[in-house]
Structure 1
């Protein structure tokens, strides 16, 4: 946080001295609450009734400032959130983005904190290995808060026959997963007295690097991806039951994939695949580190008139060293299937000159037998003011599956935003 704040202030000082006066200032004021709709048998005894019932109490102001040079080839942008947690009462600052854009010849440079999105999936990520806030998604925050910014150097090259993008991230940023504080989840490990988390140290060999080549061919957008870094989700590194201590770390990870998207059959067809190389356990002998995997998805989206859009996806992943995984899995742990797959459906319908929006996102896994359903109704009172009411419904036949573990976290949320 300190390094990002310093970088933001430095860029703003540069902008005030060297940029034109035609600044752009935007932002919004937002209230966002989420109430639990199920019993909380797994809640810690020390939690109050208020903390058990409330999953989210978020009140925030976002300020977005942009400066542009008189030549038009340089700009500075920053998004700063000031928010208060209405449950705990604490106030915080979140630098969502703060970057400098430079353009010259056939290069575009973006330096600083930025949100990076790759791939084609709808809430399904294969080649998008950049940090995400899963707590925001599961607790009813607007979808824009799923992604977390990275402090990165992002360079795009446009020679004409192909487009290229290279990203270097010196500072590792993990995902934000549920921790049990407000969202309860399945933990296969017995209770321990001490938990340690080891993050990659700030040194050159730990810099993350990602690259993408893309172009349009036969009316399809084609992309190749490569990433070298670390898993955003921690894995068990050592477990000492005698000392009641467990240590987590972020395993080294390489991801290599491709995607294609274009108009076909009256709609938009998407194809994406990737190979996950968990360097720390390429043989698949460590049950605590993800097995080497092949992942793929296919999607189809179609608009029916101006007000109705329907999209569907099929996603699958297969463990490539499954025999080794079975041999080394502790008896107390639930065994996963070698092939895991799921389907998703998204329906969006507008009414009343597109001021009223009804949407449904549904996710289900046939082999894990779990599901996630997110219905929402949103109404725009004016161009500046809108409100949304929705729900997050989780379930499954087993408590160790991806969404089955969140069965006690069903919630109803309210979002109200005024933009300026």
Structure 2
């Protein structure tokens, strides 16, 4: 057998192993397992070293209002303890000179994925940037840890997620229909769009790139844009050059990749910068039980320190027709009363039903706010606060800053 045939045979075998592992992993967890909220942070230490921490909190612990901050000492290495009485428990930690900074968080099934990034030390810019996978199901992985396929002898099929190349700072990653999509770009107008299918592939497959070079956007257009998944469609908003509050909307339907990106009609927008804050800030899109043509958007306005809620009307083809404001949700007083309160990063998650969680980082404090909303058929929106928590990271001389990279319910 020639070298090419052997390579194809090995690739076919790996694809088969990956497909079987994926199908096995996607079986439902036992009903008695309480869902957990996974809080993922990127941390910068003295000397330009990067660290990534995953902590967990039970959903039942989120629905308790508490104004008293809890001090978190956060050792770099600590084994998870499912019987711990701590409210916020460390689940996994990754650091080292080989670990790049500004990696993106995503999830695929029950696995948290950490990919992309760039090294903070300029002397290491050309080093490989492996993808790390963290299995959250402890019945499968009793000792959870970040695992990389690079340099790992005979890695298990569930961890066969290759690295993103070349350097990609904080890629936006989203699981849609069992596939992981990654979109990354920078301020000069470069954008890469890729997909990883664990059932068939062992590489990232390139998808049509964003047609942005011919659009009238400023040099910072991509970094000021936003990305959201609505059903099978990925929407990118781009502010037009010299036109305040006017955007271009690009749409890619993952169900029909052959159609490439399309430019949508400009719908009526309300305060564009509040509805879609920017490319790296999150927009939580929720379905409504009784209306397939309307979605709710939740995002955070850094300037006014409020959660903004909007209604997105869709066409019969699932494309946005208009976005209208519904409400502005104030943060708990315990948050706003902090000295010089200013959230530097945030993430949001759907807790099931009509419950939503927003997590923020202020200096070295982690804040978690949960609420339940109601939305009538006549368009009346209301909110009931469920609980809030404050966690102060113990500040030592090494820890410089914390960035919230994502929060997921798994």
- Scaled to the shorter chain, the TM-score interval is 0.3 to 0.5
* Structure 1 or 2: more strand by fraction: 1
Q: Which has the larger radius of gyration?
A: 1
How does the TM-score come out when normalised to structure 1? 0.35
How does the TM-score come out when normalised to structure 2? 0.35
Using CA pairs below 8 Å that are at least 6 residues apart, which structure has the higher relative contact order?
A: 2
